[in-house]
Structure 1
């Protein structure tokens, strides 16, 4: 049985000036113990709202439906108190902006030891010692002194390490990392990715990585789910997806990566147009207006997510294009 199994998860938001807006449509995926899954897509594709929905962290006007089972327990059916016991303990989250996750009025010690005292019932002294050890493991120098400092006294990379340290010391079953390397320089990005790999390798922590960076996915993830306009358009192992993407949107994402082997002066490739606004899609494929290979029915019929192949090469895609006649996927070259 999968450690985390999500089935037909949908997220909608109520509006005062109109009908509800559905931002996530019937998303399903699973994550095994020790596995790594990347959820990728442009901003507004529904990646973060998928995770917020399954953990009960939506805004007050949001509602999630479907099933999200952690070790067989449906998170969506839990009372807030029961869900609070899981968040930060069995499931830890690293948000993309550490300054919005860390309280500027509390020291790092206070923010790290609170979870240990609540979930592990440690004394303040024991919790402080565990927190210092965690900071040292993520290579924060002079951790004994720095633990008494405030978030604004740390650099962006250091604050991100603090969040990873807080997650690491709880030894969660699942770590959700939402754009953990956004706005960090490449050196710090490499250090953050190394820490995530270490957690996965040494502690068997399952990692759910939300990102728009295909390079980060290639470095860390076993499997990949590509989202567009709140829907899953392709799922595959990372190896299969990078070698042979089957959906034009996936090919576009891969083609937009900077390449060291590109001819000098060659411009970066882009996907033309813009993603649709939530709730503005028509009856057909949401990507059709931007797809160079769209068929006539792509504009009028929503393609179902269909399975292709067999284990260990089983994958899924939602596209009307026949695989044999699909658009030339230059990104796999």
Structure 2
């Protein structure tokens, strides 16, 4: 049994002025202990709402459906009190925006030690010592002094490192990281990724990574799930997906990446058009209006995510078709 099993997850938001909006539809994946899964896609594809549903952190007008089992216990069926005992302990999250994730009225020490004292029953001094150690691991200088400061006294990158330290010191079974390196410079980003790899390999922590950065996925993740317009369109091992994408959207994402082996003066390819509005209903494939490979069936019938060997994809194209890659050649 996988550590975390998500089956047919759906997220729907109700609106007073119109029909409901489905922002996540029929998403399924599994994550083993010590495994790493990256979820990628453009803004609005449903990545963040997927993990918010797992943690019971949807907005008041949001509803989740399906199943999300952590060691056999369904997170989506839990009452708030039971979920609170798991959240921050067995499953932790590094949020994308450090300024809104940290309480401006509480010191960093208070915010980092509270979860340790609540979930592990340690003394305040022990919790403080472990928090300082965690801050030092994420390269916060003079951590013993800075831990008594407030969030506004830290830079954006340092606040992000505080969030990472707070999550890591709990040693959770599953760590969800939503764009964890966005606010960091490349040097600190490399250090944080090394820290996440260490935690993953040495302690068996499973990592669920939400990101736009395909380079971070290549560096950290064993598997990748690509989302577009609220649905998963391709799932594969990371090396296989980068070597040979089998969905035109995945090929488009990889095509937008700069490559060291590209000819001098080569321009990056782009995906034409824009993704559909959240909740937009289309008769066929949601990506068809932007797809260079679309044919008549794509505009009429929505493809279903189907397993093909060790990978899955939702596309009407033959599995062996060669999709154009970033270098301008064909895979």
TM-score range, shorter chain: over 0.9
Which string of whole-angstrom CA distances, capped at 9 and with x for unpartnered residues, describes residues 276-332 of structure 1?
Answer: 0011131110000000000101011010111112xxxx1000000012335434567
Superposition pairs of residues 234-249 of structure 1, within 5 angstroms: 234-249=234-249
Check conservation: 1:293, 1:326, Cα contact below 8 A: no
Root-mean-square deviation (Å): 1.3
Partner of 1:289: 289
Partner of 2:228: 228
CA distance, structure 2, for counterparts of residue 329 and residue 247 of structure 1: 11
Spell out, residue by residue over 1:220-240, the C-alpha distance to the aligned partner (whole angstroms, 9 max, x if none): 000000000000100000011
Of 275-284 and 185-194, more deviation after overlay is shown by 185-194
Q: Distance in 2 between matches of 1:293 and 1:329?
A: 13
Give the TM-score taking structure 2 as reference length. 0.96
- Residue 202 of structure 1: CA displacement? 2.2
SS in 2 for 1:292: coil
Shift of 1:265: 2.5
The whole-number CA distance in structure 2 between the counterparts of 1:91 and 1:109 is: 21
1:328 alignment partner in structure 2 = 324
Residues in 2 aligned to 1:330 and 1:159: alpha-carbon distance in whole angstroms? 35
Structure-1 residue corresponding to 2:114: 114
Once the 2 structures are TM-superposed, how far is the Cα of residue 266 of structure 1 from its aligned partner?
A: 2.1
Single out whichever of 323-332 and 138-147 deviates more from structure 2.
323-332
Alignment of 1:180-195 (within 5 A): 180-195=180-195
Contact 1:40–1:47 (CA under 8 A) maintained in structure 2 = yes
The aligned counterpart of 1:40 is 40
SS at match of 2:169: helix
Q: Paired residue for 2:264?
A: 264
Q: How many aligned residue pairs are there?
A: 329
- What TM-score, normalized to structure 1? 0.96
Q: Which runs of 5+ in 2 are unaligned?
A: none
> Which stretch has the larger CA shift, 157-166 or 103-112?
157-166
**Which runs of 5 or more structure 1 residues have no equivalent in the other structure?**
none
The 3-state SS of whatever aligns with 1:170 is coil
The aligned runs of 1:206-221 (5 Å cut-off) are 206-221=206-221
